[in-house]
């Protein structure tokens, strides 16, 4: 089971950013602490997804380099056009 114990962490921010956070927190009827935690959580979630996407792209590139299998842009566009029209169609076959 993951350790969910909360521990304080200090960060240094300039006075202008601190004031902006306070104004936004007041407008949202939240505490600055809540706002900063939420901002960090959203940032980490987004960046983790970007990293997974990046790793998938690198893996796809390596797979292409090793086996040469691909679909052309025209083949992919044609398939996506069918999907946009509501047709449930299989993706084009990869080829060398």
Are 95 and 69 in contact by the 8 Å Cβ rule? The answer is yes
What's the confidence (pLDDT) of residue 1? 64
Q: Kindly report, residue by residue over 21-44, the tens digit of the pLDDT.
A: 999 999 999 999 999 999 999 999
- Does residue 9 surpass a pLDDT of 90? yes
Q: Kindly report, residue by residue over 51-92, the tens digit of the pLDDT.
A: 999 999 999 999 999 999 999 999 999 999 999 999 999 999
């Amino acid at each position: 089971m993951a350790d969910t114990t909360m521990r304080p962490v200090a960060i240094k921010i300039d006075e202008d950013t601190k004031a902006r956070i306070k104004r936004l927190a007041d407008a949202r009827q939240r505490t600055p602490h809540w706002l900063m935690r939420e901002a960090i959580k959203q940032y980490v979630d987004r960046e983790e997804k970007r990293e997974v996407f990046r790793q998938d792209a690198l893996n796809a590139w390596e797979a292409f380099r090793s086996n040469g299998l691909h679909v052309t842009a025209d083949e992919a566009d044609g398939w996506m056009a069918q999907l946009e029209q509501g047709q449930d169609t299989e993706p084009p076959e990869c080829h060398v």
